[in-house]
Amino acid sequence: MKTTNWKVWLLAARPKTLPAAIVPVLLGTAVAVHEGGFHLIPAAICLVFALLIQIGSNYANDYFDFQKGADTDKRVGPVRAVASGLVSPQQMWRATLIVLGLAFVVGLSLVFYGGWWLVAVGVLSVLCALAYTGGPYPLGYNGLADIFVFVFFGLVAVMFTAYVQTGVFTWAGFWAGCGCGLLSMNLLVVNNARDIETDREAGKRTLPVRFGYRYAVIQYCLSALLAFAVPDMLMRLGYGGWVYLTLLLLPVAVILCLRLTRAHRPRDFHLLLMYTGQLLLAYGVLLSLGIVLS
């Protein structure tokens, strides 16, 4: 068995994607605060659960992409732990099961706040994290990963974080989840746009593989711009003008759209992925602040 250290596992956890787990919990908690139902403990549990699901999904992706031949020496993206030999496939598979198992155990404690039916949500989250690149019909290999990200790291994560604190689902949670899900999807779009050639060779039929690089640019820009329409939907629900704080980031989103049109080198995509994660985090902070102040 190969020896590894914490830096290798941190690399495999893909820190640049972790805002996709943090932001929905932040937004869901902001909605709960606005509704007068903020509770620290369930909010903290949701955060740990979301982070573990995200990391477990990334570990599973590392394992299954290696097994299916999507991660090769032709790949231009960041080093993958299994493909580079830093971690054996057996180690990564065990780590995946341990992290997702911990996520399920942590999520179980939410039944005290939202009822036993939340067990089904936890099971589905774990199964989808594995089905992202594994199983008989992997989502990431059939152009469905974008839907998975939008639903689970957008709608589900935001709405259920608010629900376990307030006991109700709200339209505010729905729209905040849409904004979060759209920007979270863009992390995936950057990855898929970068890996078009190697994904095509491996039979990984992502949306950019199916429809081309131009489609990826259009999807990225449309998702970014639609996310900035969310404050208007919240205003229609009676929220105050503070929700428009997110518009301060609109020029940044436009710049990132332009950068994607000109991205060619691995470094271009590396920076774009980092900036997309930062945009998601800043968007979540400003929209959460706007919701609370409203």
pLDDT tens, residue by residue, 136-153: 888 889 989 999 999 999
pLDDT above 90: residue 32: yes
Mean pLDDT of 149-167: 95
- Interaxial angle between packed helices 213-227 and 171-194, expressed in degrees from 0 to 180 and rounded to the nearest 10: 160
Identify the pLDDT of residue 136.
Answer: 84
pLDDT tens, residue by residue, 49-98: 999 999 999 999 999 988 876 665 555 656 778 888 889 999 999 999 99
pLDDT tens, residue by residue, 202-235: 888 999 999 999 999 999 999 999 999 999 999 9
- Interaxial angle between packed helices 266-293 and 19-34, expressed in degrees from 0 to 180 and rounded to the nearest 10: 10
Q: Are 163 and 169 in contact (CB under 8 A)?
A: yes
Domain-by-domain residue ranges, the chain? Answer: 21-293
pLDDT tens, residue by residue, 98-140: 999 999 999 999 999 989 999 999 999 999 989 888 888 888 8
Token digits for 225?
């711009």
DSSP symbols for the chain: -----HHHHHHHH-GGGTHHHHHHHHHHHHHHHHTT---HHHHHHHHHHHHHHHHHHHHHHHHHHHHHT-S-TT--SSPPTTTTTSS-HHHHHHHHHHHHHHHHHHHHTTHHHH-TTHHHHHHHHHHHHHHTT-SSS-GGGTT-HHHHHHIIIIIIHHHHHHHHHHSS--HHHHHHHHHHHHHHHHHHHHHHHHTHHHHHHHT---HHHHH-HHHHHHHHHHHHHHHTTHHHHHHHTT--GGGGGGGGGHHHHHHHHHHHHH--SHHHHHHHHHHHHHHHHHHHHHHHHHHHH-
Identify the pLDDT of residue 65.
Answer: 85
Mean pLDDT of 163-171: 96
Nearest Cα neighbor of 256 from 231, 283, 281, 220 is 220
Q: Which residues contact 39 (CB under 8 A, 6 or more apart)?
A: 32, 113, 164, 165
Q: How many CB atoms lie within 10 A of CB 269?
A: 21
Sign of CA dihedral 58, 130, 66, 91: positive
Identify the pLDDT of residue 273.
Answer: 94
